[in-house]
Structure 1
Amino acid sequence: MSAVFNFTFVPWFRSVAPYIHKFRNQTFVVGVTGEAIAAGKLQSIAQDLALIQALGVKIVLVHGFRPQVNEQLAAKGHAPRYSHGIRVTDSVALDCAQEAAGQLRFEIEAAFSQGLPNTPMAGATVRVISGNFVTARPVGIVDGVDFMHSGLVRKVDVGGIHRTLDMGAMVLVSPFGFSPTGEAFNLSMEEVATRVAIELKADKLMFLTEVAGIRLNPLEAEGEDNPVDTELPLDVAQKLLAQLPPATLPTDVGFYLQHCVKACKEGVERSHILPFATDGALLLEVYVHDGIGTMVIDERLEELREAKPDDVGGILQLIEPFEKDGTLVKRSRTEIERDISAYTIIEHDGVIFGCAALYPYPEAGTAEMAAVTVSPQSQGTGDGEKLLKRIEQRARATGLKSIFVLTTRTMHWFLKRGFQPVDPEWLPEQRKAKYNWSRKSQVLVKYL
């Protein structure tokens, strides 16, 4: 095995580990469009879902079948009809939907049953269980349009789904529901997935669709690797929806966004819109910091807070590379544990991406802002400014008049944020006694 492979694989695998721990025993509802299956993506999607499940995630898979039903209708010389963004399901369309659902269920179960050597499914045992988990009601007549056998979700068998997941199986839900009288109704995958996620209190709702995601300002996407906004706060998503015309087509900006917003408003912390055209989109979204699609969240995932003893390991891991290259002065674990109450951190999904410490010198009316670190993955996102503002707030709260930093490489960053250079002789006597004259650190002060 080459040294280059070791060099790239080991750090990557270590970076993924926090997300594996974070999502273990969580529940994801994944909505896969019929377009993804028609595009030949089922095999790779099944492999990725099997891997995610193997890492301890409970999965409910909801499949769509829009193009498959339209294909069946075309074969019978019957044109598809839509109104208000919903299929009008007459008796012919209902037969086509049942045929398409049966065929897709067969294909999905087959995809999860494969275990050939030298494939991602080798050695995997994925039990896929489907059933009548959804009770439906008719859409009825809307604005003079009779939707006939089209329905909406009335109730989700939450207990049955949870019991199935607790058995270690993956739950498969087709966009069909049955009334208490046994009548079948054709449902939309998007509504089913959203209602199931809400009723289960799922940790994630993920739509794997033909839409890459959402960009609030398309002009900002020029020259960027990812053309979409990877994180969309719920309030911003709601304002965007209010500005858009009603979405009737899957490619309309608001089509999937409206379901993501609904899920987040009703308790699902994170809802995602992912492009099935990107190989491994599910893995990239779940196990990579920035993800690949657009995530709607009911609050920003980055939590700015004071550090606790359990954060010592994360702080050490964050600052170690900067200590090695000389950007930061080396600090021992004992020193960080002793001073942990001085630290402020930025945490994202259980991973620490930024930290700074405040060491007060009350007799001089000032404090040192030390160990200022932002992970390379988060640099340029404003995390440094957030840390600085929190440190300033902490300093003001204790009646201090200024904060100062010692730096050898990041002087310009601090100068842009109101710091002024001073002679090391300015330092409080207690701090001056520990000043490393051979390191020649610049001393910068900001008056509060």
Structure 2
Amino acid sequence: MSTETRTSSSTDGESPIKPTDLRGILKYVPMFRGQTFIISVDGSVVAHEGFRNLLMDLAVFRSLNIRVVLVHGVGQQIRSLGEKRGVPILDAYGSGPTNEEVLQLAIESSGDVSTRILSQFTELGVSCAIPNAIRATERGIIRGEDFLFTGKVEKVDAPVLEDLLSAGITPLVSPVAANRSGQILRVNSDAIAAEIAAELKASKLIFLTSHPGLPVNGQSLLNVPAEDLRRTMADNPSAIPAELLSKVESSLSALAKGTPRAHILDGRIFGALLTEVFDKVGLGTMIHSNEYDQIRPARPSDLHSLYNLIRNAASSDAVRERSFESIQESLSDFFLYEIDGSLVACAALIPYPKENVAEVGSVFVQPFYQGRGVGLKMIHYAEREAFAKGFDKLFALSTQTFSFFREVCHFSEATLEDLPQARQEILLHSGRRSKILMKDLKSSGTPS
């Protein structure tokens, strides 16, 4: 399982990186230009004093030609109105039954919030529109309980939304929608956002909440594969906070229909949205499909990034220093660990066919991802590749991570004479005094 946890989270109201760091942002512009993000913002975030800052972040997206659909909730607004008017609220979020009194509160709250967002977008110079692009249908009677005026999405009018986005207009979608007969229904905003993400083939579905990401069993997650989260939902749904269940269900639904990434983060933190999107670590929790992280062969387009990674590693003597030309010449030996398009780790599988052995070298994991199992995955990959190519043994030379190879990867210490003659000479001339570790692939087999 490749779930990653957060050791700490920011609670001081500011994101870990400055959203004005243009160098960090511009690096991602080619990756996201022209793509569609569905942003779902809770009513509690809309009510927060920093909401205008969030709209400014969305304005940044538009200026970078990232297409945005904004879906808003009204849960907190419904509760506030209900308290003022003495209307009991059993469910303010559109998942449980909605009676006529609560429906009227939802309609009024939706109008107020939509008007507020429209006004502030206009002030920021962002064109937006409120389309009737969602058609709802009644949820009906579930386990004997009539859900009355609670609805679910029946149809997303994708062409209408596409036309608006193509014209540079941000669609603003509220959590009330009409059915075929024109009856207004209360619909869960998380479910609306997920359906829109699937229909528009969005690259990201982002939930902005009043929670710092998604905790599972009390442990805040950095990222989690969708399959792992599905198993948790099936086996132990109580491990997930009740107030985030709707977002998890909607995330999984969107990913099952082709959306690659869903994010859950605290939208009240200044710069949180820009940090989540434009920083490789992010701020909240990302739920991803299986291709989110991968080990793959290096490509010519990776050459400069690979050289910089090895150069940084060599500066601390973690790996042997390599010239740009030597890396270029041996690029086909390298394989990379990539997370969401970012280079996280590298290694090379160097063949010595005369002796029928191979070396796994230039193994390095970016500091933030060390201790998260990435290095072990890289060694297992090298073992499988070496075994598949018919090599009898795999060896590694290490000055700093020999205990990792010995205790975690189950290599055994070897001697200089165990190395191919060519590699002996390189080691002797380097002066690095590396420890030699060897693994017999024929006897140990390969990791699954």
**TM-score, scaled relative to structure 2:** 0.86
Q: How far apart are residue 178 of structure 1 and its match?
A: 1.9
Q: How far apart are residue 16 of structure 1 and its match?
A: 4.8
- Structure 1 partner of 2:413: 421
- Structure 2 partner of 1:380: 371
Asked if residue 63 in structure 1 is aligned to residue 72 in structure 2, the reply is yes
State the percentage of identical aligned residues. Answer: 31
Asked if residue 211 in structure 1 is aligned to residue 202 in structure 2, the reply is no
What are the superposed Cα offsets for residues 389-434 of structure 1, whole Å, 9 maximum, x if unpaired?
1111121122212122233333222222223333334321222333
What is the 5 A alignment of 1:24-423?
Answer: 24-82=33-91, 86-115=95-124, 125-218=125-218, 221=219, 228-244=220-236, 251-416=242-407, 417-423=409-415
What are the superposed Cα offsets for residues 114-151 of structure 1, whole Å, 9 maximum, x if unpaired?
35xxxxxxxxx311122111111223344454433332
> Do the aligned partners of 2:93 and 2:188 also contact (CA within 8 Å) in 1?
no
Asked if residue 434 in structure 1 is aligned to residue 426 in structure 2, the reply is yes
- Structure 2 partner of 1:122: none
What are the superposed Cα offsets for residues 276-297 of structure 1, whole Å, 9 maximum, x if unpaired?
3433322222122232222222
Quick one: distance in 1 between partners of 2:354 and 2:143?
Answer: 75
Q: How far apart are residue 327 of structure 1 and its match?
A: 2.9
Quick one: distance in 2 between partners of 1:331 and 1:410?
Answer: 19
Quick one: distance in 1 between partners of 2:47 and 2:162?
Answer: 30
Distance 1:398 1:82, change over 3 A: closer
The size of the alignment, in residue pairs, is 422
> Do the aligned partners of 2:75 and 2:92 also contact (CA within 8 Å) in 1?
no
- Structure 2 partner of 1:445: 438
Quick one: distance in 1 between partners of 2:241 and 2:122?
Answer: 30
> Do the aligned partners of 2:261 and 2:289 also contact (CA within 8 Å) in 1?
yes
Q: How far apart are residue 328 of structure 1 and its match?
A: 2.6
Distance 1:152 1:426, change over 3 A: closer
What are the superposed Cα offsets for residues 208-244 of structure 1, whole Å, 9 maximum, x if unpaired?
11333333343xx4xxxxxx11212122111211234
One-letter identity of the residue aligned with 1:432:
Q
> Do the aligned partners of 1:365 and 1:402 also contact (CA within 8 Å) in 2?
yes
Quick one: distance in 1 between partners of 2:160 and 2:291?
Answer: 32
Quick one: distance in 2 between partners of 1:245 and 1:384?
Answer: 31
What are the superposed Cα offsets for residues 59-113 of structure 1, whole Å, 9 maximum, x if unpaired?
1110011221233333333222449973544443333222212211121122223
Partner SS, residue 403 of structure 1: strand
What are the superposed Cα offsets for residues 310-347 of structure 1, whole Å, 9 maximum, x if unpaired?
22122112112122333333322322222111111111
Runs (5+) with no aligned partner, structure 2? 1-16, 442-448
> Do the aligned partners of 2:79 and 2:92 also contact (CA within 8 Å) in 1?
no
Segment of structure 1 superposing worse, 331-340 or 144-153: 144-153
CA RMSD of aligned residues (A): 2.7
Quick one: distance in 2 between partners of 1:250 and 1:383?
Answer: 29
What are the superposed Cα offsets for residues 13-63 of structure 1, whole Å, 9 maximum, x if unpaired?
655544333222221111111111223232121122222332332111100
Quick one: distance in 2 between partners of 1:85 and 1:185?
Answer: 9
> Do the aligned partners of 2:357 and 2:391 also contact (CA within 8 Å) in 1?
yes
Quick one: distance in 1 between partners of 2:253 and 2:424?
Answer: 57
Q: How far apart are residue 155 of structure 1 and its match?
A: 0.7
> Do the aligned partners of 1:418 and 1:446 also contact (CA within 8 Å) in 2?
yes
Q: How far apart are residue 160 of structure 1 and its match?
A: 1.0
Partner SS, residue 426 of structure 2: coil
> Do the aligned partners of 1:250 and 1:256 also contact (CA within 8 Å) in 2?
no
> Do the aligned partners of 1:158 and 1:199 also contact (CA within 8 Å) in 2?
yes
Distance 1:19 1:423, change over 3 A: same
Q: How far apart are residue 156 of structure 1 and its match?
A: 0.7
Partner SS, residue 283 of structure 1: helix
